[in-house]
Structure 1
Amino acid sequence: MKLYHFSDKSDIRIFNPRVKHNRQNMPPVVWAIDQQHEFTFYFPRDCPRIVYTRTEGISDEDDHKFFGLTDSNIVITVEVGWYKRINKTTIFRYELPVESFKLFDEFAGYYISEESINPIGIKPLDNLIERLTELNIEIRFTPNLNPLRETLLKSSIKDFGIHRFENARKL
């Protein structure tokens, strides 16, 4: 298993535990994501996006509604205002040693550690949209994520992530 942390900074020497902006009720931790789910971070740091996956248990109606015209099992939707920023962004994937991490969220592939972590490698990633399409992930662009979010939360889809939604356009 490989674990990663993504950043727009290229010079991080140590990851110290901190309280995450949207998880104020948790103790300080270092966050990592597994290799299987790393694609969910192929975006600029503050980019709002919704990621959902076709899995067993989705109703026929929701399968048609969310996946009807695609053979991809993963769809990522982003607001149109982020298209140029995604194309111009280089992010940095830090590989982290796995020993002190424990699983936090299996669906999302999140792991946490309460220890300070020294990365064991760093790799710049650009051409982010191309990287996603090479994984057979469908990328959709919409003027506003709010309607999709509301519909998704009422659906039978359980494997989804809503990232940086505080940066999405308001209704």
Structure 2
Amino acid sequence: MKLFHFSEEPGIQVFEPRTIYDQTDAKVWTIDEYHAPHYYFPRACPRVCIWPKDDTSNMDNERFFGMSKTSRIIAIENGWCERVKKGSIYRYIFDPADFELEEENAGYYVSRRPVVPMEVERIDDLITAILNEGIELRITPSLQPLREQVLKSTVNFSMIRMRNARQE
């Protein structure tokens, strides 16, 4: 298993624990291989990622995945399309021995001490990287209608940077 951290900043030598939002303890956050493509975007880009789980209903499987038979979808707003097309990110790779599982559904692993990446890779063609993972990329004027439907469904989801999404 590999763990990753994604950044638009090159050359980070040491990742120091930090607090985010209303957390009380500082952490270094990483993501597992399965969930890593959810971060093939500029950091601030809002997105909705969905995939089925064991108890996803047949109706939800058909509603969300029936038209393409994909097993994962990521949706972004059309206002972010150019930034994704022109963007690049750095994928920092970490030894999983330095981390503990924080949230299995989202693939989050954390360390409460400074960690040094084993290597770093630059990803320039983000859209191709996403598509090469077998993920359907949807581009929509607003994520809000999808968000509302996903929250009422039985699919797994990750909603990232939604505070930056268009408000209706």
| TM-score (normalised: structure 1) | 0.94
User: How many Å separate the matches in 1 of 2:5 and 2:136?
Assistant: 23
- Residue identity matched to 2:82: K
- How far off is 1:55 after superposition? 2.4
1:12 maps to 12
Identity percentage of aligned residues: 39
The code of the aligned residue for 1:42 comes to: Y
Of residues 136, 139, 146, the one that matches 2:137 is 139
**Cα distance in 1 for residues equivalent to 2:15 and 2:23:** 20
| Whole-angstrom CA distance in 2 between matches of 1:44 and 1:13 | 20
Unaligned residue ranges in structure 1 (runs of 5+):
none
Mapping 1:1-171, distance limit 5 Å: 1-21=1-21, 24-157=22-155, 159-171=156-168
Question: Could you tell me how far 1:27 is from its partner in structure 2?
Answer: 0.9
Consecutive unaligned residues in structure 2, runs of 5 or more: none
Q: State the 1:98 CA deviation.
A: 2.0
The normalised TM-score by structure 2 is 0.96
Question: How far apart are 1:167 and its partner, in Å?
Answer: 0.3
Encode CA deviations 1:61-94: one digit per residue, 9 max, x unaligned. Answer: 2122111201110000100011110011110001
RMSD: 1.0
Q: Give the whole-Å Cα distance in 2 for the aligned partners of 1:97 and 1:50.
A: 28
Q: Which residue type is aligned with residue 144 of structure 1?
A: S
SS at match of 1:103: strand
Deviation (angstroms), 1:164: 0.3
Q: Residues 8-38 of structure 1, C-alpha deviation per residue, up to 9 Å, x if partnerless?
A: 00021111000123xx134110000112221
